[in-house]
Amino acid sequence: MTIVRLGYVAMSMKLKNASPSKTMTFSQFEKIPDRDAAIRKLERIALANLDNTLRLLKHNVESNIHFYRLTSRLIPLANHEELLDWNYIKPLKDSLRAIGDFTKKHNLRIDFHPDHFVLINSKEKDILKNSIATLKLHYLLLKEMGIDHTHRCVMHVGGNYKDTESSLERFIENWMHVPSKIQQMIMLENDDTSFTVEDTLYLCEKLGIPLVFDYHHHLAHHTNPNWQEHWERIVQTWKASPLPIKMHISSPKNDKAFRHHSDFVDSDMFFRFLKEIKGSIPQIDCMIEAKRKDEALFQLMEDIKNRNDVEMLDGSTFLLK
């Protein structure tokens, strides 16, 4: 038997006026003549984002949702080249600690997924430098929350640059420039255009990184359709992790836009995956990447509640019989 626990990404469709991703562009920042006043406005936006994050976590607890992806846009302009003197953490310490305390009190799993511009395998030194700076931001947020940073940040491998082998080897070379604390934070996922499960496994096994299997991405991009052949290797990449194995689940928008995420999750598609892994692991945490966010989670639970091969445990968790 395997416990399946569902989570969702960043925004709630049920909780109103609770965006954790309010922002300010640098052009808007520049229009404020008093720089200190502009920075205070940035801080107010960041504090509002953190306040809404705590509201979302409270919503999750009330809904028996134990797994949640934080937005990477909590602090606008945090690493902008014109604001490197801004100590953005200092005014946010109390709010970050409140999020961490609530998370630990209710035993929630939270993590991040930085945007696509974080490229460890970039050919450009400046892009690698900026990527590490962005990852450092995520590390500092977790540190101030008091959350163990280990395996809390999932990334794609990066750019393919029309040469898969060289791009993989460059990831390994550039990985040596990533501070060890940040290395410990990283998980890698297979993507839908450039790096297959096999490609990603190569890096994960070589560098000791957990692999987050994205089933939809695999269906969209693979050389060998039989992902089951690699499942035990995927599981083994998690053997040193303090967290349960994680995967991503989403459904194609339609046949033409197969790579795009649908509003909801196709339960039949999901269970084709679950039937293959049932009993191979004690627990799997499944991050739903659907346009309708927590609504997609609630709908998926509604879709499967009458199945005879599951036992419902709470609002986001069930047991595969």
Q: Find the CATH number of the domain harbouring 191.
A: 3.20.20.150
pLDDT at 278: 97
Q: Give me 199's structure tokens.
A: 């490609």
The C-alpha atoms of residue 167 and residue 158 are separated, in whole angstroms, by 8
Short-list 3, 245, 200, 14, CA closest to 109? 245
Alpha helices of the chain — where are they, by DSSP H? Answer: 26-30, 35-62, 93-105, 125-145, 164-175, 180-185, 197-207, 215-220, 231-236, 267-277, 293-304
Its pTM stands at: 0.96
Domain of 267 in residue numbering reads as: 2-320
Cβ contacts of 218 within 8 Å, gap of 6 or more: 190, 196, 197, 227
Alpha-carbon gap, residue 290 to 300, rounded angstroms: 11
CA distance 101 to 58: 12
Over the stretch 190-200, which tens digit does the pLDDT of each residue have? 999 999 999 99
Token pair belonging to 240: 């040193």
How many structural domains is the chain composed of? Answer: 1
Phi, psi at 273, each rounded to 5°: -70, -50
DSSP bridge partners of 297? none
Beta bridge partners of 189: 156, 212
- List the chain pLDDT tens, one digit each, 321 residues: 999 999 999 999 999 999 999 999 999 999 999 999 999 999 999 999 999 999 999 999 999 999 999 999 999 999 999 999 999 999 999 999 999 999 999 999 999 999 889 999 999 999 999 999 999 999 999 999 999 999 999 999 999 999 999 999 999 999 999 999 999 999 999 999 999 999 999 999 999 999 999 999 999 999 999 999 999 999 999 999 999 999 999 999 998 899 999 999 999 999 999 999 999 999 999 999 999 999 999 999 999 999 999 999 999 999 999
pLDDT of residue 213: 98
- Residue 315, judged by CB atoms within 10 A of its CB (0-12, 13-18, 19+), counts as middle
End-to-end CA distance of the chain: 5
Q: Which residues contact 208 (CB under 8 A, 6 or more apart)?
A: 237, 240
**Cβ pair 246, 187 in contact under 8 A:** yes
Say which residue the tokens 């606008």 belong to: 76
Model pLDDT, residue 255: 86
Decide if 95 contacts 51 (C-beta within 8 A).
yes
At residue 116, the pLDDT reads 86
